[in-house]
Amino acid sequence: MKSAISTRRPLALAVAALVGLPLAISGCGTTASASSTDAVKEISVTDYYNNEPDKSFIGDALTACGTKAGVTIKRETVPGKSLISKVLQQSSSKTLPDVLMLDNPDLQQIAATGALAPLSDFNISTADFAPGVLSAGTYKDKVYGLAPTVNTIALFYNKDILAKAGVTPPTTWDELKAAATKLTSGEQYGLAFNANPTYEGTWQFLPVMWSNGGDEKNIDTPETAQALQLWTDLVKDGSVSSSALNWTQADVKDQFMAGKAAMMVNGPWQIPALDKKTTLQYGVVKIPVRDASQTAVAPLGGEVWTVPQTGNKAHQAKAAEVVACMNSDENQLAMAKVRNTIPSKTSLAAKFATDNPKLATFTDLIKTARARTGELGEGWPAQATKIYTAIQTALTGKASPADALKQAQGQ
């Protein structure tokens, strides 16, 4: 192990020379003046909300929380795709920000490195948070991250198209298949979802898999095979375009908005775009379950705020204050409203649902929503890869759903 460290030394030296000097100077300043938290003037924050309106809105909330904690915020927003590589670079050069936002399935990877501080160190209350939200932020029994608001996916349907065809929103798989077939004609498909070979494809498949009792620990089960059979049937009989194999969630939304799909699987973050098209009347229901007696289990989405191990106790304490403030009741409600997401505290969610009927379905789903990393922790990415591989194999007809899952699980 020692030799492994020594191979890193040249880079470490170079980085230290470039980065260490100004750090050392500023570091001296803070420790010399006092060890009390009053000395902290500024804390750094990194997140990936780099698009409007999220960018300004989250920025304003951070600034307000900073003011409350008596510090100014130095914020950096990076593109979503480059956040993890940035965090890894920062952790090897020991330049992690004081407050770090992470997409919830990534939290496990970063917590496993030891780069994050458990929030219990700072007495941040985790009471009343929805169980799924807490499990998304928990690594080895300790909470490392809290999400102010969360989201999930459901079934959007075009009210006009369904009314014209005399179809009511489906609640079971059989109804879904029948509705999708009936709504398919000419250039219009009955349903659109995303089954592309990325984690997005896996995420969109989870509701049918989980609601039917499938489990990510072992995907070679009849329950998961049934779920994959549903997806396969829908593509095979033409009620879902085979382009789903290559679409992103944004593509799915475009198809739905253009009237080329009567229903779609998607999340509430698409609502602002959908609302821009005033002629589009849409409703949202839970993704159908196989048997009416089953409960819909949705996957939990959303970003958690964390406090990295920067080694500066005073900075960390202030950072924790900001994280707590970002998760305050007031901020949860405000963020949920502006960002079309759901407050993660159950008591707030109930109130929010009555005030925002458009999001009622999502609010309802969050109560039982499951975190992707809840069972496997840092083992999730490998298993998520297997799931989308199996989906692609079955949907292209290279193997039956059961065989595709068996192959993927054995890989």
Partner 1 sequence: MSLTTDLSQAKSRANERAKSRAKSGLGNTRAREASPSPRRRNRKRRERLFQWLFLVPAVTYMALFFGYPVVKNIVMSFQDYTTATFFTGEAPWVGLANYAKVLSSSLFSTSLVNTALFTLGSILGQFVIGLALAIFFQRKFPLNGILRSLLLLPWLLPLIVSSAVWRWILDKDSGALNRFLGELHIVNTGVPWLTSTSLALIAVVGVNIWIGIPFNLTILYGGLQEIPDELYEAGSLDGATGWKAFRHITWPMLRPVVSVVLVLGVVYTLKVLDIILGLTNGGPANSTQTIATQSYDLSFHEFKFGEGAALGNVLVVISLVFAVLYLRASRRSVDE
Q: Give the footprint of partner 1 on this chain (CB under 8 A).
A: 1, 3-5, 7-8, 10-12, 84-85, 88-89, 91-92, 109-110, 112-115, 187, 189, 196-199, 241-246, 258, 260, 378, 381-382, 385, 389, 392-393, 395-396, 398, 407, 411
* Tokens matching residue 332: 């949860």
Distance of alpha carbon 388 from alpha carbon 203, whole angstroms = 9
Distance of alpha carbon 386 from alpha carbon 83, whole angstroms = 24
How far, in whole angstroms, is CA 375 from its chain's centroid?
A: 16
Q: Which is nearer to partner 1, 64 or 88 (CB)?
A: 88
Q: Which is nearer to partner 1, 112 or 285 (CB)?
A: 112
Distance of alpha carbon 39 from alpha carbon 42, whole angstroms = 9
Q: Which is nearer to partner 1, 243 or 294 (CB)?
A: 243
CB 291 within 8 A of CB 201: no
Task: Quote the least distance from Cβ 73 to partner 1, whole Å.
Answer: 24
Q: Which is nearer to partner 1, 258 or 292 (CB)?
A: 258
Q: Which is nearer to partner 1, 71 or 265 (CB)?
A: 265
Helix/strand/coil (H/E/C) assignment for every residue in 253-296: HHHHHCCCEEEEEECHHHHHHHHHCCCCCEEEECCCECCCCCCC
Q: Which is nearer to partner 1, 10 or 166 (CB)?
A: 10
CB 101 within 8 A of CB 319: no
Distance of alpha carbon 171 from alpha carbon 196, whole angstroms = 25
Distance of alpha carbon 327 from alpha carbon 108, whole angstroms = 20
Task: Quote the least distance from Cβ 311 to partner 1, whole Å.
Answer: 12
Range 184-189 contact pairs with CB under 8 angstroms and sequence separation of 24 or more: 184/238, 184/239, 184/262, 187/260, 188/161, 188/259, 188/260, 188/261, 188/262, 189/238, 189/239, 189/240, 189/241, 189/255, 189/260, 189/261, 189/262
Task: Quote the least distance from Cβ 380 to partner 1, whole Å.
Answer: 10
Task: Quote the least distance from Cβ 96 to partner 1, whole Å.
Answer: 9
Task: Quote the least distance from Cβ 134 to partner 1, whole Å.
Answer: 22
Distance of alpha carbon 285 from alpha carbon 361, whole angstroms = 6
Q: Which is nearer to partner 1, 236 or 260 (CB)?
A: 260
Task: Quote the least distance from Cβ 58 to partner 1, whole Å.
Answer: 25
How many residues would you count in the chain?
411
Q: Which is nearer to partner 1, 171 or 407 (CB)?
A: 407
- Contact residues for 247 (Cβ-Cβ < 8 A; gap 6+): 192, 194, 195, 196, 255
